Structure 1
């Protein structure tokens, strides 16, 4: 089973919503911290919807020493 465009679209929508909320944060350090958390969450959730084959292709594309932190 492949990650569906709908699943990936939902992830992108959630990420965009989160980045829009960051526009209200005036503290640059807080903004940076929250943005990093948002990126980590998007990557983690993205890996959850990928198949093993898709994960391997992604790892190959990113190259060594890339390792997946999430193992469902």
Structure 2
């Protein structure tokens, strides 16, 4: 459970960083889908998806269900 809570905190921190960037500079789809190296969006989508799916898999394992 502690690992799951840490994962949730990481996801929330990522979302907050994304929102902060969006408020500062607006949303640019090109920057989001093809980010420059080192930008806030660099690796964001893949990392967020991986962490989210890890959380989903853990929830399914708890309930004995499958996605």
**Short-chain TM bin:** 0.3 to 0.5
Q: Please give the TM-score of this superposition, normalised by the length of structure 2.
A: 0.44
